[in-house]
Amino acid sequence: MYNGPMQLKPQDVVVLIKLLESGDKRPPYAQIAKDLFLSASEVHAAVQRARSARLLNTGDLGDAPNKTALEEFLIHGLKYAFPPERGELTRGVPTGYAAEPLKSRISAGIDPPPVWPSSLGKTRGYSFAPLYKTVPQAALRDPRLYEVLALIDAIRDGRSRERQIAEQELKARLQSPEYAELKS
């Protein structure tokens, strides 16, 4: 019996980004869950949905992200699948152009920066809903994850120049030697 297509959820993207760091051997679901402040069952379901969406290779590649498909989705599809939600001024963790690697390349101007609302953050800016509620905690613990998620937010909601630089930075990370073993 066909139940229709399996739809991706925002946390699936966070899991896929974390899996980029894993090389060709996926860590146990419990470890990924701990790192991302998710449950092991949430991680398992995210992996299943990513496989179904063909964003995750299986078999000999050991659940490695399909980097070609992931790059295309992150750059061209994510902002439509999970549009940005802006809110009021709040305290939080900087994202988009207000976080590295864009912060050192783009002048902030006078507007308040985008922040993921969080009591862990020290920056005052406009609320920018993270892909998933545990993103600020996970990002503060993992600088590489933080950078990629901030780049994704710049692509989702940045001005033209921010988006272009973020796309270049994201592509560079996906093609970097530290992710070389993950080529699809």
Instruction: Determine the pLDDT at residue 58.
Output: 75
Q: What is the DSSP letter of 60?
A: G
Which of the residues in the chain have pLDDT under 50?
A: 1-2, 61, 180-184
**Whether residues 119 and 147 fall in one domain:** yes
Q: Are 154 and 163 in contact (CB under 8 A)?
A: yes
Instruction: Determine the pLDDT at residue 175.
Output: 83
Per-chain mean pLDDT for the chain: 89
**Whether residues 140 and 73 fall in one domain:** no
Per residue in 126-160, pLDDT tens? Answer: 999 999 999 999 999 999 999 999 999 999 998 89
Whether residue 118 is contained in a domain is answered as yes
Domain endpoint, select from 38, 63, 81: 81
Domain of 141?
86-174
Q: Please state the pTM of the whole predicted model.
A: 0.90
User: What residues contact residue 102 under an 8 Å CB cut-off, 6+ apart?
Assistant: 96, 150, 151, 154, 162, 165, 166, 169
Task: Quote the number of domains for the chain.
Answer: 2
**Whether residues 102 and 48 fall in one domain:** no
Whether residue 49 is contained in a domain is answered as yes
